Amino acid sequence: MSPIVRLSSVSFSYPGSKRKILDDCSFSIEKGEIVSILGPNGSGKSTLLNCACNLLTPQSGLVYLNDIPISSMTIQNVAKVIGYVQQYQESAFAYSVFDYVLMGRANRIEMFRKPDSNDFRIVENVLEKMRITHLSDRPITEISGGERQQAAIARAIAQEPQVIFFDEPTAHLDFGNQISTLKLIASLKNEGYAIVMTTHNPDHSILLGGKTVILNKEGHLEIYDASQIAKAELLSNIYNTDLLVPFVKEAERFVCIPKSL
């Protein structure tokens, strides 16, 4: 089984800058896998995602989707494989949530055509599944940040992709919503989607299980699987802070928390 996404020795720096954001990075995402990407601020987590879906072109190295080089794929075909939920959902115009989610069907619609009844049905189903049907007619600019993110996730699902990228999905949510989002991501994985998620909270990595990719400020990445990640020294190194990773019986899992202040 070829991996859905495979980065092979990818290096990237922004034009005009000498600093290598990504230096010789390789990793792959298999079907149904969850991958979290950890790293300190400015380590290039978003850049890694953007390279993986062809929003940025690496200076060297290659990206493959299902073994096909991404540079030879059409934009629509890339969108059939990867759905992307950005960190911020901004819209200059007040589209209804329904219309917003409908845009997820763009990867299957021809240039001079519009969505058809089949597309409408799929969007209705996705809204139902995400339990946001009540938001259908509300303008995307007038709902809360958390609701907007749910709409963005619905839109990604409407794309019917193989893998969904999340860029810091919990960053702006309240605590309760953070947990709900993580639950949602876990359930998506169970339905067969591969997930790639950048996060600044290492505890989320432990919660979700799956592979963890640690990116450092020099642009190098290391890959750990679920069993290897729950190590205090490892996680403390990332953030240059003392962290503890005790096993908490009530939670039935390892937990990553800061020491007492």
Partner 1 sequence: MKEKRFKGTIAILLVALFIVVIIASCCGHYHLDPLTCLKLLIIKPFVKTGDWSELDESVIYGLRLPRIIGAIIVGTCLSLSGASYQSVFQNPLVSPDILGVSSGACVGAALAILLHLPKTFIMIFAFMFGVLTVVLTVTIPKVLKSESNIMLVLSGIVVGGLTGSAMGIIKYIADPRDELPQITYWMMGSLDGLSYSTILFSLVPVCICVFVLMRMSWWIDVISMGEKDAQTLGANVKRIRLITIACSTLLTATSVCMAGTIGWIGLVIPHFARMFVGTSNTKIVPTAALLGAIFLLGVDTIARTVARTEVPLGIITGLIGAPFYAWLLYHQRTRLK
Single out the residue of 155, 189, 204, 211 in contact with partner 1 (rule: CB under 8 A): 155
Single out the residue of 104, 202, 210, 219 in contact with partner 1 (rule: CB under 8 A): 104
Residue 179 in contact with residue 146, Cβ under 8 Å? Answer: no
Stretch that binds partner 1, among 63-71, 77-85, 172-180, 214-222 (CB under 8 A): 77-85
Give least dist CB 108 to partner 1, A: 8
Single out the residue of 96, 178, 180, 216 in contact with partner 1 (rule: CB under 8 A): 96
Query: Residue 75 or 248: which CB sits closer to partner 1?
Result: 75
Residue 106 in contact with partner 1, rule: CB under 8 A = yes
Residues between 28 and 57 with contacts to partner 1, criterion CB under 8 A:
53-55
Residues between 188 and 207 with contacts to partner 1, criterion CB under 8 A:
none
Residue 128 in contact with residue 120, Cβ under 8 Å? Answer: no
Question: b vs e for 188-226, b when ≥16 Cβ sit within 10 Å of the residue's Cβ?
Answer: bbeeebbbbbbbebbbbbbbbbbbbbbbbeebebeebee
Single out the residue of 1, 16, 90, 260 in contact with partner 1 (rule: CB under 8 A): 90
Residue 17 in contact with partner 1, rule: CB under 8 A = no
Residue 172 in contact with partner 1, rule: CB under 8 A = no
Residue 168 in contact with residue 87, Cβ under 8 Å? Answer: yes
Residue 141 in contact with partner 1, rule: CB under 8 A = yes
Single out the residue of 9, 19, 69, 94 in contact with partner 1 (rule: CB under 8 A): 94
Stretch that binds partner 1, among 20-28, 71-79, 188-196, 242-250 (CB under 8 A): 71-79
Measured between alpha carbons, how far is 164 from 148 in angstroms, rounded to an integer? 17
Measured between alpha carbons, how far is 175 from 215 in angstroms, rounded to an integer? 25
Residues 6+ apart with CB under 8 A from 92: none
Residue 123 in contact with partner 1, rule: CB under 8 A = no
Residue 142 in contact with partner 1, rule: CB under 8 A = yes
Q: Which residues bind partner 1 (CB under 8 A)?
A: 53-55, 74-76, 78-80, 82-84, 86, 90-96, 99, 103-104, 106-109, 111-115, 139, 141-142, 155, 159
